[in-house]
Structure 1
């Protein structure tokens, strides 16, 4: 990580906060913690506790130059804010699953109230030279709430999940209000150029001309930290023990939060198609799927878990041998060094979501590989990472035969080709690691005039692959 210029604090706001000392298993929490490395910062988020009265306690902790502000939330509003609107409306909608959207007006109102609680807690702690960076779909209205409280600081927003096209977004009864809330930010960032195009198209369709800049800022990982973790003693033990359990077979691995957007049932069926294919590698691979449960109160997540348990039992019942179980399905979380060891042990990384904003696990799998004998990444074309990681084997997760063929191709790929692909992918990861991502977003946010007065700022920012600026009008 490079040093940043001292221009006031970075103030990050997210639904949850990754506190120092907590075990993190990758993804967004690790990326945000790494993005703050070395800078004076405040990070505000939900404490994980419910307020017992009308007062909303705010706990503060310090670690180095970072202050953590943890806000309790009222129980009456939390369910509607989190389980109701954020995860039963916005999450499925933004992942193109209109059929799973369960909209209730009272949940939307709770979502707005909780954003006002965040805004009130933050406004009291802001300094004049702070730069505010808001993260993800839970907090889309936060900038508008802050402006209503008189906050004039620069405010940026980054959407970590996909941005759907206007025709999908229109299924939400309050879609215009949501777009206008996004437009309140001085800078709105998206994972891919396609997400950016969807946002700009929606603004034009709705005639929203008052808005800040927007751009594609694909998120990276802390490449060298993960590579170092993969060489650590803890990772080496995990790798050794996992390899020893395979009885000479090779490993394919998937690491995904248990979620319908990750395409896990489709992946299980694709692996079964591989087992049935008669390919040279069929029967020579063990597939380990790590899927920590999340949002267990949401019925759709319970359905996915039951389906996967049934599929794993069915596939293993049909194809297992006395000394071999084709699919190992684990509902648990592991420390990052252990995951790095598991990734390093795997000849194939199976990352095949039906829709994903980026998918940092795909990048973490690559960073953990041994340069002497790297594995092969099989990646869904519907993951944002596919826009960058073009040397991976890109597949359509809805086509089980194509995924099965990619598994066999990966299993038989010659060492030289694996090394060439991996070196090209790693060069791209290092060129856009989490430090580059954070600096690029913050430098852009701090460089631009604030959103005030009339008229829109009309420059859109392309992603780092092109580095170009376009003249189109501006998650």
Structure 2
């Protein structure tokens, strides 16, 4: 009998059709593999129950645990998203260090460890996801759990100099070391994990310096996450003639799809698009940047600030460049359903995926999968997106360089068909081959020790 797979993440799907990159990926994995998915219940309660509770059965079992309002403030909004998130995304300047944040973060992880220690069996496989639960394996080991425990970090791993801003910097080493497999998105992330242990006398490296061994033999490994590419390509093709966009004949569509987050470089993107507008001639094609950016974590001050900056930038750029029949930037601050989004991906002439720091960025892969191979659009991709290690045939840019971004937009919009098809064919091959099933199989083989 195969070991039972137990997946743990902060968010767990409660709807019939899950949304969001991480949630969709894990839903697809568990639908195929079977097992148990455990996460927070979503709504803070007055008195959290001390046990897990089942909320759904099907291809896999879904279970949740409660957190209090104070824990939501300290564990989620506080330590996870006002300390770890900015730190791991190269924004140590935005880290808000408050003692109760760390206390609440550890309280939630400790209570979950108590529940998992009762629930897990020795031959289970535990797969912990993302920065919300970094200490979980160490806490489980303290409680005598001997099952194999893997971790996957969906966001970038921080550079050593930024880790020093974390009061629990030394604890981070112990947290990582407690896992049997510590998975990250890119080879660059592996290097950053290893750099964190270079001065640790208990760390042992192989002769090529590629592996770090600590206590139980954990090694950081990269597993670039993919999408259900064939399914998304089929959806986009089926929706090709159902594009809900009012655009003039010959007008070009440049697309951005991101959560409203400072790590996505949205203000820089608007500024780069503005340099393209500044340089265009009267006979150049009119191009509209459609930016879809649903808000998130609006209770965190840094997110309020980026929303204000982005709205101001859009207004200033449109004020300078708009015409009676053309609005250069169309900004939508809400979610778009998956079917509609697939049709918009298919219609887009260019996608701008230009984060300042990103673990992977599945928008880049969705755009590639959605395109018509006979007349594909062009992907503009930041060097700082994790996807840049795989999607090397995109038009690569430095998102901090507005002039370079503007030139990339001009290049993409005028790229000959033969070059577009050649670039897209290579991108599509990677997206279709290294898809979500490949990612799942690769990681679970490593966790089982069979790879």
TM-score by length of 1: 0.89
Any idea what the Cα deviations from partners look like across 1:210-258, whole Å, max 9, x if unmatched? 24122111111111111111123xx34642x22x434530100000000
* SS state at 1:205 partner: coil
Q: Which has the higher contact order (CA 8 A, sep 6+)?
A: 1
Instruction: State the partner residue of 1:345.
Output: 347
Q: 1:304 aligns with which of 303, 306, 310?
A: 306
1:256 paired residue among 237, 258, 261: 258
Any residues of structure 2 matched to 1:309-324 within 5 Å, and which? 309-324=311-326
Stretch moving more, 28-37 or 192-201: 28-37
Quote how far apart the aligned CAs of 1:39 are.
1.4
1:34 corresponds in structure 2 to 28
Pick aligned residue for 2:72 from 52, 67, 78:
78
Residue 355 of structure 1 is matched in structure 2 by: 357
What are the equivalent positions in structure 2 for 1:334-413 lying under 5 Å apart? 334-413=336-415
What SS does the corresponding residue of 1:16 show, helix, strand or coil? Answer: coil
Of 207, 219, 237, the residue aligned with 2:225 is 219
- 1:116 matches 2:116: no
Can you give the 5+ residue segments of structure 1 that lack an aligned partner in the other structure? Answer: 1-5, 449-460, 462-475
Does structure 2 conserve the Cα–Cα contact (< 8 Å) formed by 1:78 and 1:114? no
In structure 1, the partner of 2:147 is 153
- TM-score, L = length of structure 2: 0.94
**Alpha-carbon separation, structure 1, partners of 2:448 and 2:12:** 24
1:208: how far off?
4.1
Please say if residues 359 and 385 of structure 2, whose CA atoms lie closer than 8 Å, have aligned partners that are also in contact.
yes
**Of 285, 288, 310, which residue of structure 1 is paired with 2:287?**
285
Indicate if the aligned counterparts of 2:375 and 2:417 stay in contact, CA closer than 8 A.
yes
Residues 70-92 of structure 1, C-alpha deviations (whole Å, 9 max, x = no match): 11112222211011111111111
Equivalent residue number for residue 144 of structure 1:
138
Question: Unmatched 5+ residue regions in structure 2?
Answer: 204-213
Q: Relative to structure 2, which stretch is displaced further, 332-341 or 52-61?
A: 52-61
Shift of 1:96: 0.8
CA distance in 1 between counterparts of 2:284 and 2:108 reads 51
**1:194-209 superposed matches below 5 A:** 194-209=188-203
Residues 278-334 of structure 1 deviation map (CA, whole Å, 9 limit, x = unaligned):
358855111100000000000000000011111111111111111111100001112
CA distance in 2, matches of 1:54, 1:381: 43
| Structure 1 residue 126: Cα displacement | 1.9
Offset of residue 18 of structure 1:
2.2
Post-superposition CA distance 1:408-455 (Å, at most 9, x none): 11001111111111111111112211111111111111117xxxxxxx
| Alpha-carbon distance in structure 2 between the residues aligned to 1:176 and 1:238 | 54
Change (3 A) 1:10 1:280: farther
Aligned 8 A contact 1:275 1:283 in 2? no
Equivalent positions of 1:19-98 (< 5 A) are: 19-24=14-19, 26-53=20-47, 55-56=49-50, 58-98=52-92
Q: Secondary structure at the match of 1:214?
A: strand
Matched, 1:163 2:157: yes
Q: RMSD value over aligned CA atoms?
A: 1.7
CA contact (8 A) 1:275 1:282 kept: no
C-alpha distance in 1, partners of 2:47/2:200?
41
Counterpart secondary structure, 2:391 = coil
Q: Distance in 2 between matches of 1:275 and 1:281?
A: 12
Does 1:7 pair with 2:2? yes
Q: Separation in 1 of the partners of 2:219 and 2:39?
A: 25
CA distance in 1, matches of 2:422, 2:334: 34
Conserved in 2, the CA contact under 8 Å of 1:283 and 1:326? no
Taking structure 1 as reference, are residues 116 and 167 closer, same or farther at Cα in structure 2, changes over 3 Å only? same
Q: Residues 144-185 of structure 1, C-alpha deviation per residue, up to 9 Å, x if partnerless?
A: 111122211100001111112211212212111012111100
SS in 1 for 2:44: strand
Residue aligned with 2:146, SS: coil
Post-superposition Cα deviations, 1:89-124, rounded to whole Å, max 9, x if no partner, equal 111111111111111121111101111122223233
